[in-house]
Amino acid sequence: MCELLGMSANVPTDICFSFKGLRERGGHTGPHKDGWGVAFYEDKGVCIFKDPQPSYESEIARLISDYPIKSKAVIAHVRQANRGKVAMANTHPFSRELWGRNWTYAHNGQLHGYQSLPFERYTPVGTTDSERAFCYLLSELEKRFPNGPGKRVSAFNHLKKLSNKLREFGIFNMLITDGEYLLAFCSTKLQWITRRAPFGIAHLSDVDVDIDFAKETTPHDVVTIIATEPLTANEQWHKMQPGEAQLFRFGEPI
Amino acid sequence: MCELLGMSANVPTDICFSFKGLRERGGHTGPHKDGWGVAFYEDKGVCIFKDPQPSYESEIARLISDYPIKSKAVIAHVRQANRGKVAMANTHPFSRELWGRNWTYAHNGQLHGYQSLPFERYTPVGTTDSERAFCYLLSELEKRFPNGPGKRVSAFNHLKKLSNKLREFGIFNMLITDGEYLLAFCSTKLQWITRRAPFGIAHLSDVDVDIDFAKETTPHDVVTIIATEPLTANEQWHKMQPGEAQLFRFGEPI
């Protein structure tokens, strides 16, 4: 299995604190040592760092957890391989362009019979069930809205339906974003928390690190973090139910 | 304008030495301070680091020039913006999937009337002439070989023709790769050098750094470096002519 991490924020925000926790689960406090990746958006542009090495040992992951890269939309993933060998081509997040926007996605779970999932415009590069499902999702989106959706929310509503269908193939927890909207879909486990003023102190579960968000933010900041398991020990996270989808935009659940 | 850097090698090789030189040109020895990027392939998978900050000041670029990431195919770029503002979405290299492979591309030059370049399957995300030309190239490739080319070299031969056509729109020096083949197209300036045994000592032009390749390689290594301007002061680079294209695979010109 794997672990997911996502962020949606109304101001460019770094993810150092949360990523520091996730990174530990990639070979130290967790078994997810078969690669890691993180996508940072700056408006419609995206930069995706990925590495088939364990995040806990990766020099690049160390930089990401120390160096504040600010973004309003982030998707990260640590991998424990089941379908597809340990390789760059099988490392999440995956990304493709559709309607002139970069779509980025990561998956936690395992699918059966996924070889029958049709894809048209998008062809998998690697050999994972996850990328195959991503190609299916985007190919179906493009078929449903060949000229783009009138409202972008319609595309995400269609993704919810498709994701629910993918549950028939196994476990399908996932995060997908176009850089502005971020959809979280829960098949078995996914939790989220929205932080806003008054901000408090948070303590990571996986490593002895505290942060006082009041010192790092302004009173107008709204930041949502989504994760497979809560990353902090002293906060109340919202636990999603199987089949539940939640869309976020600029930090707010919508 | 901008500067290009490419590498093709028969064994996974790091690009620290060459990137160290290129990085200096991004705001120190050169004016290309409007972003930088570098794509590293591992088989069919690719990781693209990019940053709209000057490479000379970028912490991420510092890591890339010190930390040996080994690859057989690399494309890097430092940008001096002309078309399109300084932004992640306008930062090279650009990448898209075609026929289940990641295609990565970077451009040096400036195109006029590029808004008339048709594209179909691939839509630009940013506002550069460069990405527009990339979308045109890949859309045309897909139209010419809707089910993929029988031999992959045929795709690159078609890219040579299309690149020659793009010279009608202005200056079009470019590098494009599918992770195995790497095509260099010269419109005004591009040079390359193939290093093989017996290896010698090279000295960077932009910063006082030497390397003894004999200590870093085995006698079977073949590594080609392509750059806008030679990166070393004591070696003979092959200067390409306007309209000349050169394909490389695993370090060898073919």
Count structural domains, chain A: 1
In this complex, is the C-beta atom of A148 within 8 Å of any C-beta atom belonging to chain B? Answer: no
Q: How much is the pLDDT for B153?
A: 97
SS3 content of chain A, % helix, strand, coil (to 5): 25, 35, 40
Question: Which residue of A lies nearest to B125 if distances are taken between CA atoms?
Answer: A100
Nearest to B89 among A43, A59, A99 (CB): A43
Mark yes or no for CB contact B125/A42 under 8 Å. Answer: no
- B63-93 burial string, b = 16+ CB within 10 Å, else e? bbbeeebebbbbbbbbbbbebbeebbbbbbb
Question: Which residue of B lies nearest to A53 if distances are taken between CA atoms?
Answer: B69
What is the span of the domain harbouring residue B140?
2-253
Q: How much is the pLDDT for B27?
A: 87
What residues contact residue B111 under an 8 Å CB cut-off, 6+ apart? B83, B129, B130, B132, B133, B166, B169, B170, B171, B172
Kindly list the catalytic residues of B.
2
Closest by CA position to A109, among listed A169, A173, A160, A165: A173
Min distance A122 CA to chain B CA atoms (Å): 8
Q: From CA B206, how far away is CA B233, in angstroms rounded?
A: 9
In this complex, is the C-beta atom of B235 within 8 Å of any C-beta atom belonging to chain A? Answer: no
Mark yes or no for CB contact B47/A88 under 8 Å. Answer: yes
Q: Over chain B (254 residues), what is each successive 10-residue block's mean pLDDT?
A: 93 92 89 94 97 92 91 95 92 98 97 94 96 98 96 97 97 98 98 96 91 92 96 95 98 97
In this complex, is the C-beta atom of B120 within 8 Å of any C-beta atom belonging to chain A? Answer: no
Mark yes or no for CB contact A125/B87 under 8 Å. Answer: no
* pLDDT one-digit tens code per residue, B72-124: 999 999 999 888 899 999 999 999 999 999 999 999 999 999 999 999 999 99
In this complex, is the C-beta atom of B51 within 8 Å of any C-beta atom belonging to chain A? Answer: yes
Q: How many CB pairs under 8 A join A and B?
A: 84
In this complex, is the C-beta atom of B16 within 8 Å of any C-beta atom belonging to chain A? Answer: no
In this complex, is the C-beta atom of B41 within 8 Å of any C-beta atom belonging to chain A? Answer: yes
In this complex, is the C-beta atom of A143 within 8 Å of any C-beta atom belonging to chain B? Answer: no
- The answer to whether A16 is a known catalytic residue is no
- Local confidence pLDDT in tens for the 254 residues of chain A: 789 999 999 999 999 988 998 899 988 998 999 999 999 999 999 999 999 999 999 999 999 999 999 999 999 999 998 888 999 999 999 999 999 999 999 999 999 999 999 999 999 999 999 999 999 999 999 999 999 999 999 999 999 999 999 999 999 999 999 999 999 999 999 999 999 999 999 999 988 989 999 998 999 999 999 999 999 999 999 999 999 999 999 999 99
- CATH of residue A200's domain is 3.60.20.10
Q: From CA A223, how far away is CA A7, in angstroms rounded?
A: 7
Contacts of A102 in chain B (CB under 8 A): 125
Min distance A1 CA to chain B CA atoms (Å): 21
Min distance B101 CA to chain A CA atoms (Å): 5
Closest by CA position to B26, among listed B15, B37, B16, B17: B37
Secondary structure letter of residue A115 according to DSSP: G
Mark yes or no for CB contact A60/B63 under 8 Å. Answer: yes
Mark yes or no for CB contact A42/B52 under 8 Å. Answer: yes
In this complex, is the C-beta atom of B70 within 8 Å of any C-beta atom belonging to chain A? Answer: no
Mark yes or no for CB contact A59/B59 under 8 Å. Answer: no
Q: From CA B218, how far away is CA A52, in angstroms rounded?
A: 25
Q: Is B237 within 8 Å of B230 (Cβ atoms)?
A: yes
What residues contact residue B168 under an 8 Å CB cut-off, 6+ apart? none
Mark yes or no for CB contact B97/A123 under 8 Å. Answer: yes
* pLDDT one-digit tens code per residue, A118-150: 999 999 999 999 999 999 999 999 999 999 999
Instruction: Please name the helix (run of DSSP H) or strand (run of DSSP E) that holds residue A62, with its range, or none.
Output: helix A59-66
Q: How much is the pLDDT for A225?
A: 97
Nearest to B46 among A88, A90, A123 (CB): A88
- A39-75 burial string, b = 16+ CB within 10 Å, else e? bbbbbbbbbbbbbbbbbbebebbebbbeeebebbbbb
Q: From CA A183, how far away is CA A53, in angstroms rounded?
A: 27
Q: Which of B16, B34, B60 to mutate to test the interface with A (most CBs of A within 10 A)?
A: B60
Residue whose entry in the numeric block shows the structure tokens 């302004």: A218
Contacts of A88 in chain B (CB under 8 A): 41-43, 45-47
